[in-house]
Amino acid sequence: MYQESEIVDLLMVVFLTPIMVANVRAIHIPGKRWFIGGYLVVALGYVFTVLEGFIAPEALNMAEHLSHAVMGALFFGGTLSMFRSARARVAEQR
């Protein structure tokens, strides 16, 4: 069975994605693609969460948790990319 909070989470992602797309285009940071990938995986995880209330609950629950793991790896990759870029800029200044 689905929970109302899960539906609200999915609706927030659906309605906020166009705003995110418009704003992300203006941002220039190292690792931006990692963060975009992480956001998309979060959105996919919300879809899995809602769908598991209707069909294949065990498989979609596993897919949801795997998406959380992938999201963490992607955000870590983006953070690492930003960190390396900042260190390279500091090294250039010396």
Taking only the tens place, the pLDDT of each residue in 52-83 is 888 999 999 999 999 999 999 999 999 999 99
DSSP-derived 3-state class of residue 76 = helix
Report the C-alpha gap between 50 and 92 in whole angstroms. Answer: 48
User: pLDDT per residue over 4-33, tens digit each?
Assistant: 888 898 899 999 989 988 888 888 888 899
Q: What per-residue confidence (pLDDT) applies to 41?
A: 96
What is the pLDDT, as a whole number, of residue 21?
87
* Burial (CB count within 10 angstroms: exposed 0-12, middle 13-18, buried 19+), residue 3: exposed
Residue whose token pair is 């705003």: 19
C-alpha triplet 9, 11, 12: angle, nearest 5°: 65
DSSP secondary-structure letter at 52?
T
Amino acid letter, 31 = G
Q: Are 49 and 63 in contact (CB under 8 A)?
A: no
Q: Does residue 28 come out as left (phi exceeding 0), alpha (psi in the -120 to 50 range) or beta? A: beta
Task: Indicate yes or no: pTM above 0.85.
Answer: no
